[in-house]
Amino acid sequence: MIKLAVYGKGGIGKSTTISNVAAALAKKGYKVMQIGCDPKADSTILLRHGEPVKTVLDLVRERRDDFELSDMVKTGFNGVLCVEAGGPAPGLGCAGRGIIAALEKLEEKGAYRVYQPDIVLYDVLGDVVCGGFSMPMRKGYADQVFIVTSGENMSIHAAANIAMALEHFKNRGYATLGGLILNRRNVKREEEKVQELADDFGSRIVGRLNRSDLVQDAEEDRKCLLEAYPDSDMAGEYELLADQILQSAGS
């Protein structure tokens, strides 16, 4: 089983990227589980035509421990197994601690043992890297971390913080940095700025995605791009990225 965590600043297109990569990997015959670790709980929604997944934390709040794995894990496009950790009620509790509780509940219920996914993708908010938001980096969870970034300054700043957190944790047996994913926003010196960031941390750009209106068009249809426009050039970019991530994870 390969476990990969994907981080990035909110709004950078991380969940869209992960969902399409998950769909591409599933198309190749892998059993894929995507776990949303954002309190908004919308990581997997494009894989399910806009139908949300009941979050692990909502199930715990409503039923304590009286629920089954099938209540937490739902199937999406191409058979991707969809899970949403969820978050606390607004104004109550800590989102980071919620992620910890949700991932622990998945293990307690035997999600990995029962479903036996080939690849697990954690979709993690990257604006903050503390507490529960660093949980997928920890030993026993992700093997590698990939960071989605553009060349925009705030996105670069968030990516640098995530990479720095991995540097701090490297002696604890945590996940390693697999590389950066450039999701282009067509800003000045974009390629150079992201390459400089990769060089600063001894890493590399593992994949590049061009900006495409088809991504937004697919989202309007409540679908991931690989379902809405499977023969498009953009679908090919996501499929190539899936290959590049697998290659990096195996190296």
Catalytic residues: 9, 14, 40, 127
Burial class (CB in 10 A: 0-12, 13-18, 19+), 173: exposed
The residue length of the chain stands at 251
Edge-to-edge, what's the strand order for the sheet holding 176-183? Answer: 74-75, 81-84, 32-37, 119-125, 2-8, 144-149, 176-183, 205-209
Beta strand segments in the chain, E: 2-8, 32-37, 74-75, 81-84, 119-125, 144-149, 176-183, 205-209
